[in-house]
């Protein structure tokens, strides 16, 4: 018979918004405008399609797990599809009695062709913000100066 294993305490999970002292709305807004969701730094793209590995200000590692950017592709697809649908509905509503199919097709093709390219940087930063809201920060993922509440650092002292 083996001795019973001592119970391990579950790791305390503190949401990213609490750790950083930033609201989820602000993080999503920062991601939407193409800046770092943690600190708001706008200088994270060296070119339109080239993003730095870490934020120069808060040192957030953007690709937190392998395959991280698949979510950005999904965000880009959803946003551009929604834009196409909304524009299609608006043009149909404005030109209701006699919609012009050639105009509608041309506009939809323009959005489908250029929309993903124009939204690319924002889709990456928006996905980083969404990912931070879904999976809290781990130790060392961001500069400690930006972390207000660290579950490992701010743990209550043990009572005797």
* CA–CA separation, 41 and 83 (whole Å): 27
Tokens 């690319």 map to which residue? 120
For 40-94, write each residue's pLDDT tens digit.
Answer: 999 999 999 999 999 999 999 999 889 999 999 999 999 999 999 999 888 888 8
Confidence of residue 98 (pLDDT cuts 50, 70, 90): confident
Q: 45: which DSSP letter?
A: E
Burial code (b: 16+ CB inside 10 Å, e: under 16) for 35-59 equals bbbbbbbeebbeeeeebeebbebbb
How much is the pLDDT for 5? 77
* CA–CA separation, 124 and 86 (whole Å): 22
Tokens 């509905």 map to which residue? 89
Average pLDDT over residues 11-24: 86
How much is the pLDDT for 30? 96
Secondary structure class of 46 (helix, strand, coil) = strand
How much is the pLDDT for 124? 95
- Give the residue among 60, 82, 81, 80 at the shortest CA–CA distance from 129: 60
| CA diameter of the chain | 83
Confidence of residue 153 (pLDDT cuts 50, 70, 90): low
* CA–CA separation, 79 and 95 (whole Å): 24
pTM, two decimal places: 0.82
- Give the residue among 55, 56, 31 at the shortest CA–CA distance from 132: 31
- pLDDT above 90: percentage of residues in the chain: 56
């Amino acid at each position: 018979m083996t001795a019973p294993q001592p119970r391990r305490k579950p790791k305390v999970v503190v949401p990213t918004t609490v750790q950083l002292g930033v609201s989820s709305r602000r993080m999503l807004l920062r991601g939407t405008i193409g800046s770092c969701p943690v600190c708001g730094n706008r200088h994270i793209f060296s070119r339109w399609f080239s993003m730095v590995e870490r934020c120069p200000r808060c040192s957030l590692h953007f690709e937190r797990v392998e395959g991280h950017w698949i979510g950005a592709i999904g965000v880009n697809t959803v946003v551009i599809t929604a834009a196409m649908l909304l524009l299609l509905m608006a043009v149909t509503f404005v030109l209701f009695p006699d919609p012009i199919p050639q105009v509608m097709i041309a506009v939809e093709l323009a959005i489908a062709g250029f929309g993903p390219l124009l939204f690319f940087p924002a889709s990456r930063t928006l996905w980083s913000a969404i990912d931070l809201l879904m999976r809290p920060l781990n130790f060392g993922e961001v500069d400690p100066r930006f972390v207000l509440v660290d579950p490992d650092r701010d743990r209550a002292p043990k009572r005797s």
